[in-house]
Structure 1
Amino acid sequence: MVKLRVRELAQENVYHLLSLTSGVSEEAIRTYATQTPDDFKKISIALNWPVTEPGVAQVFQMLDPVKAKDMAIDLLSTASDISPDDIQKYANENEDFHITEKIEDLRKIAKALDIEMVELVKPKETREAVRFKLVELAQDKQMSLQELANQSHVDFPIICFYSSQPIENKKITQEPFYTNLSKISVALNCSIEDLQDKEKVELPPTMLRVQEFLEATDLNINDLSLLTGVNSEFIDLIATNPIDIRNIPRWGEEKVICEIICKFLHCSCE
């Protein structure tokens, strides 16, 4: 499933589309678009266009760069021979599409825009994240993660999550991350910056379907916390943050993350 850049590209290439549908050269259209009303009046006279004719005024308005963009999708519909309703769907930037199911239409759109079909696909957004060196720093202090949890007064499962999972950059200064990381840095006698690995990473794509489960069962996080005996902050953590499944500890004390997740997924850490 992909998102498309049809609206963006149609607006960028609106004069090309107007040229394609009108038969007037793109260079001439761009020249007309840069004229003042007085200059356009002179051009109209030179071309033997009656200046008072309504159609001439409409053409001038249509050539205005801002107004022309508003017409881009309609022009693309005409240029690509795709119905206005269908072209509006492709222009919806929040819609997901199976490329293989729409390949013929996408070929027509790309041809009308004079671009490669691959250019229609929106690049996937990536969010920068950071990993924390809690295991390494705790070992330097001859501490286990459990001891770090005790000294920092941050719940052990949360410590384990921070030590194994990437956290989005912007969340580091948000609560409860900032308070937890501040407590951890005090326990390790370092700064929050010292906790971070220098190498930036991308957030993994996997999200646990905790929110869907809550909606389906008409429960909230506090309800689920009472039913499972799991800290509500940790439930919120795994419900709202992407998970690197490959990096979930499945042994030792840190196996606690896997065990908690398996409570929700009815699976086994073995």
Structure 2
Amino acid sequence: MVVRSRWMPFASFSLMSEFVPAVGQEYWHCDMKRGFQRVRKKEPAIAAILNQDTTVQRIGLLAQQGVYEFHQDDRLLDDVNCVNRVARSLKLEDESLVVRERVLQVLDNYYNQPVLRGKKILKLSRGDEGMPTPLEVRADNLSFKLFAAIDCLFLEENGTLHILDFKTGKSDFDLRQGYVYLLTASYLYPNQRAVASFYNLESCKWSEPITASPLQLNAIQSNLARIAQKHDAQTQQYRKNSTEFGQIFPPNPDQSRCKHCQFHSVCNFSAWEVSA
């Protein structure tokens, strides 16, 4: 059930994946990264890091913005110069070579295979709108705020609500994220059948449609509630005794792992800093 607005812990798919990484991503898992990003994010040095997009984040954001620009006027897709026009609107010339080349490939891919063309789009995110309004949820006697930023919503011809999430990079799709989206839809559109799917803008790979039974939605909701409670408890523990940061959010140091971590410059446990 949805409860009245009041302070409560939060949960999201992103937070869930920071507790339990997706299959194939276990090597990169480090609880301390969650501590920096979620609990110490207002400290000046850490805030400065978080204000800078990583290469991966930048590519994902600009790819999403590119799709958004293509559909501001569907006639744009009939223009043979539309890729260059969208690239200019995204100011790709100001980006690094890696970002520029990969996003240009995304734009080319989408121009040749515009998966949303002709769809009845209900919502298409630009990707930089900020945090979505959370849902206030109660599960297993625990109340929490559920955040779910949805890239695209469209109606299929049979009236089914389709939640589409755009991806970039090589990571596999995480079924749990689809379940979180379907849980969100069950609150926002309680009387409408919904499916979720992922589409990789670089590989042009579309996942199979994801559906969920009430039992599966209840299970994911209960899991999110427990994660919200645990993260809130760890946050409060850190605020009571900040010297226990490394015990509350234990590090997982490794030279390769730490080298690619955005927080290695402020992490006392960074194997990359020690070996450099």
Same fold flag (TM > 0.5): no
TM range (shorter): under 0.3
**Which structure is higher in strand share?**
2
**Which structure is higher in helix share?**
1
Tell me the TM-score normalized by structure 2. 0.20
Larger Rg belongs to: 1
Tell me the TM-score normalized by structure 1. 0.21
